[in-house]
């Protein structure tokens, strides 16, 4: 049942993307929808690679986007969980990870959880991001 709901959600999202008059404005949806789209589009065996590419910042190098496409393909599985997170770094070297929850009515994000990021994980983020 969950697979069917997930598949229907992705089909609706792709339909909305495809129905836009201006494809450049079609990606103004939520972070969770962008992440879901990324995961779905990477699993389409190159059929929708152009749509996958459009999810990324246009200033990024094409080889970077291709590398991320291959990473998602290698990593993904049948089931996934997507969270909307914000990573905050303070000048004292401490970092927090804030989990957000979206309430569609009134279309507002709420803080769901806040955790302190361990120093070694923060160092990894600093190096990679």
- Alpha-carbon gap, residue 47 to 29, rounded angstroms: 22
Residue 17: closest CA among 38, 45, 43, 44: 38
pLDDT digits (tens, 9 = 90+) for 25-59: 444 578 888 888 898 898 887 888 999 999 999 99
Q: Is the pTM of this model over 0.75?
A: no
Helix axes 2-18, 31-42, angle to 10 degrees: 100
pLDDT digits (tens, 9 = 90+) for 69-104: 999 988 988 888 888 999 999 999 899 999 998 888
């Amino acid at each position: 049942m969950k697979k069917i709901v997930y598949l229907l959600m992705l089909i609706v999202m792709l339909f909305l993307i495809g129905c836009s008059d201006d494809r450049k404005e079609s990606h103004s949806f939520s972070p969770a929808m962008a992440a879901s789209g990324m995961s779905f589009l990477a699993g389409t065996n190159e059929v929708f690679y152009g749509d996958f590419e459009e999810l990324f910042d246009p200033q990024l190098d094409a080889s970077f986007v291709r590398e991320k496409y291959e990473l998602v393909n290698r990593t993904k599985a049948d089931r996934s969980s997507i969270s909307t997170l914000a990573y905050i770094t303070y000048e004292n070297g401490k970092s927090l990870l804030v989990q957000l929850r979206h309430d569609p009515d009134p279309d507002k994000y709420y803080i769901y959880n806040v955790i302190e990021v361990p120093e070694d994980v923060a160092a990894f983020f600093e190096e990679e991001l």
